[in-house]
Amino acid sequence: MKQQLIRQTLQASTWTSFEFSIPCRSFFVKNFTSSDIYVSFEQEDNTNTSFKIPTMIGEEIFISNRQDTNTNWLKNTVYVYSTSGGEVEVQELDIQ
């Protein structure tokens, strides 16, 4: 199976969706921008409840690490907010 990976250049101060065709439990997000990014599983306007990833850091984020087939624990879209704009890469890890 080919890796599930999306790389996009984001605009500053906007939320951008990274949508995959296959749902999964976890994503690896790489921040190549010059400042912090925020990642959420829901499209929202609040960065206070989102994962914060500093510049030039990659981080694994989980919707859940439960090993069951409950579709509530699977997502195919993550939303990324960039404070400065720049490139971000998102990779699906635990594909079902």
DSSP label of 79:
E
pLDDT, average across residues 39-51? 89
pLDDT number for residue 67: 64
pLDDT number for residue 43: 84
pLDDT surpasses 70 at 96? no
Percent above pLDDT 90 for the chain? 68
* Cβ–Cβ < 8 Å for 88, 48: no
pLDDT surpasses 60 at 58? yes
Radius of gyration of the chain (CA): 13
| Cα–Cα distance list, 81 to 7, 27, 48, 72, 88 (Å) | 14, 16, 11, 23, 10
pLDDT, average across residues 1-24? 91
pLDDT number for residue 65: 63
pLDDT surpasses 80 at 54? yes
Count Cα neighbours of 93 within 13 Å in the Cβ-side half-sphere: 15
